[in-house]
Amino acid sequence: MEKIAVASQKGGPGKTTTTVNLAAGLALAGYRTLVVDIEPQAQAGIALGVRLGGPDVAKSLGLKLQQAAQGVPTSVGDIVIDCSHLLEHRAGQGKLCLLASEQATMANAQHILHAAGIGQIHVLRSLLDELDDQFDFAVFDTPPAVQALNGVALAASDYALTLCLPKHATIEGAVTMRSTIRHVKERTNGLADPKYLGVLLNMSSPQREWSLEEIEVRNLMVDTHLAPFVTDIREDTRISRSYASGMPAVLGFARHACGQRYAKFLQETLDRMDAPQEEWEIALSADEMITQAAERKAAKAEAESKKAAKETIRA
């Protein structure tokens, strides 16, 4: 099972929608995929139509993390929730499952893990070992990097990516997150060494609508060597509607632009997992894209002018 963490320094850049759409896309492609919700707000579960409450709180991953961190023998096999019904009537479907979170139990797990420090950083990796043969991929929805749960998630991951919004404030966080990912090997004494996969620009705008801030952010993602994905995820109300309905956009709006962009992002992710960074296709800077657009416009105008001149001569 290959484990991918979707991580950011702070909350708000769209980790949950990225996580569930990446996971649902993998399942749609035929893979056995597990979403691991390590966020106390439990939003990944909500995005898949799962809300733990009442007696179902016993299915919270938070409880299992508490037990394992306190040395109590436990297993996660009995709390896996099958969400594969979301894939019904879709060709080539794989399997989509969830390890769900719940606010109180996961918050308590956060306190216990924080108190335990580096000694329990491997707790999630150990819990997931029993599922290794049951899934091809696990995708982690993580809390902000200031929480101990984030460190536990990164220590369990094989790959990690981060996100930016078209806002200056998110660039510094992405740079910090990249550094954090690259220091996991040192913090885990070599047990984990997640490969940094790059940064996804989320909630972006079409080029004709770019603000000066978005242009500057796109340039900075390249200039600071964050390895931005070529595909960006545009601002789209269908994505938020998908979250509310419990059906990821890559499934519910597969034929629309938002679903197709998530599918392209998935393919880029898989390509980067299989290749060294020097072979990745990296997004151009905004300045380069603007120059290319101007050159295409000029070339088209020249071609149309020549065509008009030939038609005039014939006439």
Rounded to two decimals, the pTM is 0.92
* pLDDT of the residue at 297: 79
For residues 194 and 296, membership in a common domain is answered with no
The token duo for 223 is 């200039």
* pLDDT of the residue at 257: 94
* pLDDT of the residue at 259: 93
* Residue 203: CATH number of its domain: 3.40.50.300
Q: How many domains does the chain have?
A: 2
Q: How many angstroms separate the Cα of 264 from the Cα of each of 86, 188, 247?
A: 20, 33, 18
Q: Within its chain, how far is the Cα of 85 from the centroid?
A: 22
For residues 170 and 46, membership in a common domain is answered with yes
For residues 244 and 212, membership in a common domain is answered with yes
At 272 the three-state DSSP class reads helix
CA dihedral sign of residues 231, 232, 235, 237: positive
* pLDDT of the residue at 9: 86
Do the strands 195-204 and 32-37 form a parallel or antiparallel pair, or are they unpaired?
A: unpaired
* pLDDT of the residue at 160: 97
Which residues of the chain are modeled with pLDDT < 50?
none
Phi, then psi, of 198 in degrees rounded to 5: 120, -170
The token duo for 30 is 């035929």
For residues 107 and 30, membership in a common domain is answered with yes
Q: How many angstroms separate the Cα of 2 from the Cα of each of 100, 113, 132, 158, 189?
A: 19, 24, 8, 6, 20
The helix (H) or strand (E) run that includes residue 202 is: strand 195-204
* pLDDT of the residue at 236: 94
Domain of residue 76, residue span: 2-283
For residues 279 and 300, membership in a common domain is answered with no
Q: How many angstroms separate the Cα of 274 from the Cα of each of 30, 103, 160, 181, 195?
A: 18, 36, 14, 18, 11
* pLDDT of the residue at 162: 97
For residues 197 and 310, membership in a common domain is answered with no
- C-beta of residue 200 within 8 angstroms of C-beta of residue 163: yes
For residues 189 and 200, membership in a common domain is answered with yes
Do the strands 81-82 and 95-99 form a parallel or antiparallel pair, or are they unpaired?
A: antiparallel
